[in-house]
Amino acid sequence: MFSKATLKELFVLALPMVVSQGAFALMVFTDRFFMSRLDATHIAAALGGGVTFFVTIALFNGIMAYANALVAQYYGAGQFSKCPRVLTQGVILAFLCLPLLLPLTWWISDVFAWMGHEAEQVELETQYYFALMAGAILTLVKTCFASYFSGIGRTRVVMISDVIGVACNIPLSWMLIFGHFGLPALGIVGAGIGTVLATGVTLSVYLLFYLNRTHRQQFSVAQSFAFNAGIMRRYVRLGFPSGFEMFIGAATFNLFLLLFQSYGVDEGAAMAIVFNWDMLSYVPLIGLNIAVMSLIGRYVGAGDLSRANQVISSGFIIALGYSAVLGLCFIIFRIELMDVFQTPEDDFASIRELGAKMMIGMATYVMADAVILVCSGTLRGAGDTRWLMTASILIHLAMLAVQVLVIKGMTLPPLVSWWVFVGTLIWLAVTYLLRVLRGRWRRPQRLARVMLET
């Protein structure tokens, strides 16, 4: 079922989120570009340390992010006063996570050495990882606010806040990495500190929007600053599977990444460059994923599943069209895109050759990513988080087992490992698509259980 009106509604809602996620991608892209001005080891370390940071907070961040669907469901049901109460429960949960994050940080920091990385790379990865983890609570609370504003459909607030944060991050990182304007040259640590400071700026902008008088009056914000057992139970019941799914997906991806980097610094640098370009495709589509989740949640709350069908078809049109264009660009300009990150060293040829071949695989899986993100946004918005968790865990663990066999057991070439990864994403896309099309998630009794505060 297709509707031009719904396509326009989704596009208007998604565009600010795409800009917001694109700004985040630009921030990471720029940090890694700055690292390339140092050497290939810094590029690989920025990828390894950054992804490990995301894995560490993935479970908690995934739970926080489910505020989007919860807020959207209450908004669609006309229960506006419950929307900010979801945010309050999310912030409470974020601070409850802190006692778990500290020991987890020290334990996970050993993973770089366990994977057999070279000593210099391990040191850089660890420094970057610790710098990012110092601001983990800011990241979690920021996710709560971003999910709240997405849930009520005010995605421009998310865009403005994130763009301001990125606009601060890029010059801050530049100054702190290279030591400009009298600041010490901190290298990769400076990149981490710049990211943490920029996150604080972003959170401050969110607070300005949240506490303005018009918003406070419309959503009864003053009455929301309290623990709410019913909403908290919904948050944990639906959000934990979503967060655990995100954690397992991120953890297996990170272990694959670290295993792949054990091939050597050149292979790690090639992967870092390829994934840097991948972000320009994947991260903006996360904005569409968030918009789909918000609209599906809104129409589930309102009991209007015919509009939910229109959202799904519109999401596929936008996602597949965008990914197809980028996929062609990744194939046609793969050499030129690799050369953007050419390091000052003389041995970039091997990195370029491997990376250019990997770009072909990336162009293959960007279409699968589009399907995955639209389908997962649909299922999360409808509260089908347990099925998503189960399917994602099984597929990702199977991928990791094959990667261990390919890389460590059979010591096959890097491209074999890479195409196993590409095949996994295609498998995941087909599985999610079948779930959406078969429609078990839309049964009235299932949706009624989703809305229960028990």
DSSP codes of every residue in 345-384: SS-HHHHHHHHHHHHHHHHHHHHHHHHHHHHHHHHHHTT-
- Report the pLDDT averaged over residues 224-244: 92
Which residues does 406 contact at the CB level (< 8 Å), separation at least 6?
412, 416, 417, 420
For residue 217, the model assigns a pLDDT of: 93
**Alpha-carbon torsion angle 329, 331, 337, 338, nearest 10:** 170
For the cut 80, the answer to whether the pLDDT of residue 219 exceeds it is yes
In tens, the pLDDT along 9-40 reads 888 888 888 888 777 777 777 877 887 777 77
Reported as a pLDDT band with limits 50, 70 and 90, residue 292 is very high
Reported as a pLDDT band with limits 50, 70 and 90, residue 328 is very high
Secondary structure (DSSP) of 114-172: HTT--HHHHHHHHHHHHHHHTTHHHHHHHHHHHHHHHHTT-HHHHHHHHHHHHHHHHHH
For the cut 90, the answer to whether the pLDDT of residue 252 exceeds it is no
Task: Return mean pLDDT, the chain.
Answer: 87
Name the CA radius of gyration of the chain, rounded.
21
pTM of the model: 0.82
Residue 452 CB neighbours (<10 A): 10
**Cα distance between residue 183 and residue 190, in whole Å:** 10
* CB contact at 8 A, 451 and 73: yes
- Report the pLDDT averaged over residues 301-312: 85
For residue 1, the model assigns a pLDDT of: 65
For residue 345, the model assigns a pLDDT of: 58
For the cut 80, the answer to whether the pLDDT of residue 265 exceeds it is no
Q: How many domains does one find in the chain?
A: 1
For the cut 70, the answer to whether the pLDDT of residue 389 exceeds it is yes
Reported as a pLDDT band with limits 50, 70 and 90, residue 346 is low
Please state at what angle helix 265-302 crosses helix 229-261, rounded to 10 degrees.
160
CA-CA distances (angstroms) from residue 233 to 70, 73, 238, 396? 11, 15, 8, 28
- Report the pLDDT averaged over residues 358-380: 92
Domain boundaries, position 172: 4-450
For the cut 70, the answer to whether the pLDDT of residue 233 exceeds it is yes
* CB contact at 8 A, 361 and 422: yes
Tokens standing for residue 379: 């299922």
Give the angle subtended at the CA of 266 by the CAs of 342 and 276, to the nearest 5°: 55
For residue 23, the model assigns a pLDDT of: 79
